[in-house]
Amino acid sequence: MKDEGIIALWRGNTANVIRYFPTQALNFAFKDYFKSLFNFKKHRDGYWKWFAGNLGSGGAAGASSLLFVYSLDYARTRLANDAKAAKGGGERQFNGLVDVYRKTMASDGIAGLYRGFNISCVGIIVYRGLYFGMYDSLKPVLLTGKMQDSFFASFILGWLITNGAGLASYPIDTVRRRMMMTSGEAVNYKSSLHAFSQIVKNEGMKSLFKGAGANILRAVAGAGVLAGYDKLQVIVFGKKYGSGGG
């Protein structure tokens, strides 16, 4: 804020907004598709097989959605981290969303827009697997009776799960973002494992969780999406969210 003003805090937000809504729609659509594909029932297949199916459908949904929106996530990350150059009159590296695509394609080709995709895929499988899987599995167990239809109770459960999923996948997300930042520059990391080892070696284990505290606030959005979709399912379709009775 001192150097660039409060507007800098929203740099890259256009790409984030464009990415966010399709991502959420795809996540829920794919999650419901994979759940119907696995078709595990708690009373028929047992709790643990049903639980594994919930985790698997969430992870598969996240990975499938990522294929469609990864380049936007890359552009958002580059814009958000685009610092003013030390020389050249304070010009930024990128002038906007389209400029990120244009310059990355010119320097690295299509592959540049997908730098770090493999580690991102691992991270999103962990995150979405826990995010959807734990919510689908814990809600019918913990929220019973009057709490079953409570938006507030669903929101609190969703908030706790979103925080847990975010914390579990945060080190992977750190590596992912670092690898994204190497596009268009001299590549510093040979692979995601190399990036992980270099970060830990040079900056320590704590650096993998740098900025994780901000996720506590960001988790409010994730919880709202879960609880909101939960309520929407009841209002529009007259059915319980996710696994329901399983």
pLDDT at 31: 95
Do 175 and 199 meet the contact criterion of CB atoms below 8 Å apart? Answer: yes
pLDDT of residue 18: 77
User: What averages of pLDDT result for each successive group of 10 residues across the chain (246 residues)?
Assistant: 58 69 91 93 92 96 94 83 51 82 90 88 96 95 88 96 96 88 67 90 92 88 92 78 45
At residue 187, the pLDDT reads 57
| Residue given tokens 């990128």 in the structure block | 94
> How much is the pLDDT for 78?
82
Tell me, what's the pLDDT at 54? 95
CATH class of the domain comprising 6-237: mainly alpha
Residue spans of the domains in the chain: they are 6-237
For the entire predicted model, the pTM comes to 0.81
Q: Give the model's pLDDT for residue 189.
A: 80
Taking the C-alpha atoms of residue 230 and residue 116, their distance in angstroms, rounded to an integer, is: 33
Q: Residue 200 burial by CB count (10 A; 0-12/13-18/19+): exposed, middle or buried?
A: middle
Question: Which pLDDT score, from 0 to 100, does residue 122 have?
Answer: 95
